[in-house]
């Protein structure tokens, strides 16, 4: 598959977190499915969707593609599985706000990992955008970062696995994804996550209504956007990928407000504006630098 241009990759990396951000609205429609079962069905349907797409795309060569993933593909699959499961487990032990604040460490960790493992020079504008975006995230959810009890602390530790998995996966995509198609790794992640969640999800309580919503989540909120992200990663720097992923956190409360009438707190709106401004600033400066290089 041809590598996307920077502009195309940017557009794709805006689409992916926009699709991820629909989780809140869709999950609010569930009747009886909760926690582990939600995570199981979501991962299950994501794996089925990715398998069908890859089977249609590669036909009899799909097995060769999966075998050809190599160490980078397996590592990416495990990172996807960690992301799919740890965040959901964290939500059973701590608040959504706490989990999201911890998740916002991802861009900083990604920049550090890119500097260490990819020898990637991180522009000052990107460092600035990362710290401003993190400050905006804290502002958005400052009221939700409550005093932690023992259970809440475990939840935060589990949530901390997510930004580490995100950062590691972005480095894997940048290091191994330039020459190997790592989209099948999303399938590996979905299968691993579903298998991990299955024992905890039993006995099933989801109604047909719930299963249809969870299938929608699996396809359009998880499987498809993760495939899009893998392709977009070929045309963006590691910190850009992680920074743009924060759009999920900004847009999530907005969709709930639009669809469910739940007006977000003033701090959420102001903090979200700060995060969005940091993302826009970083990309505008990147385009400016590109134009200057072309002129030279």
| CB-based contacts of 220, cutoff 8 Å, min separation 6 | 19, 22
Residue 150's pLDDT is 78
Low-confidence stretches of the chain (pLDDT < 50) are none
Asked, as a colleague might, if the bond just before 134 is cis with ω within 30 of 0, I would say no
Measured between alpha carbons, how far is residue 5 from residues 101, 172, 181 in Å? 32, 20, 17
pLDDT value, residue 153: 79
pTM, two decimal places: 0.85
pLDDT given for residue 255 in this prediction: 84
- Identify the residue whose tokens are 């590109």: 290
d(C-alpha 168, C-alpha 162), whole Å? 10
Give me the pLDDT at residue 34, please: 79
Measured between alpha carbons, how far is 106 from 239 in angstroms, rounded to an integer? 9
Domain boundaries, the chain: 6-295
Side-chain-side CA neighbours of 185 within 13 Å: the count stands at 31
Q: So what's the pLDDT on residue 243?
A: 86
User: Closest Cα to residue 169, out of 86, 93, 97?
Assistant: 86
- Residue 295's pLDDT is 60
pLDDT of residue 277: 86
Q: Which residue has the tokens 């609010």?
A: 28
Say what the pLDDT of residue 97 is: 66
């Amino acid at each position: 598959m041809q590598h996307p241009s920077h502009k195309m990759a940017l557009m794709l990396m805006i689409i992916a977190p926009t699709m991820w951000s629909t989780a809140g609205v869709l999950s609010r429609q569930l009747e009886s499915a909760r926690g582990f079962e939600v995570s199981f069905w979501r991962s299950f349907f994501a794996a089925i969707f990715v398998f069908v797409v890859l089977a249609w795309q590669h036909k009899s060569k799909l097995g060769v593609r999966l075998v050809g993933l190599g160490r980078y593909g397996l590592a990416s699959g495990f990172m996807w599985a960690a992301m799919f499961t740890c965040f959901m487990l964290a939500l059973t032990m701590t608040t959504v706000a706490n989990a999201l604040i911890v998740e916002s460490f991802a861009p900083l960790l990604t920049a550090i990992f890119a500097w260490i493992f990819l020898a990637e020079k991180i522009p000052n504008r990107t460092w600035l955008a990362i710290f401003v975006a993190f400050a905006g995230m804290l502002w958005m959810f400052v009221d939700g970062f409550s005093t932690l009890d023992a259970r809440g602390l475990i939840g935060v530790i589990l949530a901390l696995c997510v930004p580490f998995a995100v950062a590691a996966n972005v480095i894997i995509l940048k290091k191994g994804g330039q020459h190997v198609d790592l989209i099948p790794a999303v399938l590996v992640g979905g299968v691993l996550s579903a298998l991990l969640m299955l024992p905890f999800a039993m006995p099933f309580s989801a109604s047909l209504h719930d299963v249809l919503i969870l299938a929608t989540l699996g396809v359009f909120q998880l499987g498809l956007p993760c495939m899009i992200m893998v392709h977009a990663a070929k045309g963006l720097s590691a910190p850009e990928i992680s920074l743009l992923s924060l759009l999920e956190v900004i847009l999530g409360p907005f969709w709930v407000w639009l669809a469910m009438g739940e007006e977000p707190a003033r701090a959420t709106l102001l903090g979200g504006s700060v995060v969005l401004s940091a993302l826009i600033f970083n990309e505008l400066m990147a385009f400016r630098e590109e134009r200057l290089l072309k002129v030279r």
